[in-house]
Amino acid sequence: MTRKQWLIAVILLFVTIVAWVVFDIFHSYSKVEIPQKVQEVIEPISPEFNTRGLEN
C-alpha cells in the first residue's frame, strides 16, 4: 500500500471509531419509558405452586 492509501485507511478508521463512540453515548443516554399498564402486565408471577388445589 502506498502512503496515500494508508492515510485514507487511517482516516476512515478514525471516523468509524468516532461514530461508534458518539452512537454509544447517545444510546446510553436515551431512555425508553414503559407505560404503567404494560408494567403491570409484565410483572413476574409467583413461582410458588399451589399443591392443595391438586389434592382436592
Per-residue pLDDT tens listing for the chain (56 residues): 899 999 999 999 999 999 999 999 998 888 878 888 888 888 888 788 777 777 76
> Does the residue 38 lie in any domain?
yes
Number of domains the chain contains: 1
For residue 15, what are the domain limits?
3-43
> Does the residue 53 lie in any domain?
no
> Does the residue 23 lie in any domain?
yes
Query: What confidence score (pLDDT) does residue 9 get?
Result: 97
Query: What confidence score (pLDDT) does residue 46 get?
Result: 78
Distance CA 30, CA 27 (A): 5
pTM, to two decimals: 0.54
Query: What confidence score (pLDDT) does residue 8 get?
Result: 97
> Does the residue 20 lie in any domain?
yes
Instruction: Retrieve residue 12's grid coordinates.
Output: 476512515
> Does the residue 32 lie in any domain?
yes
> Does the residue 48 lie in any domain?
no
Distance CA 14, CA 1 (A): 18
Query: What confidence score (pLDDT) does residue 19 get?
Result: 98
Instruction: Retrieve residue 28's grid coordinates.
Output: 446510553
Distance CA 11, CA 4 (A): 11
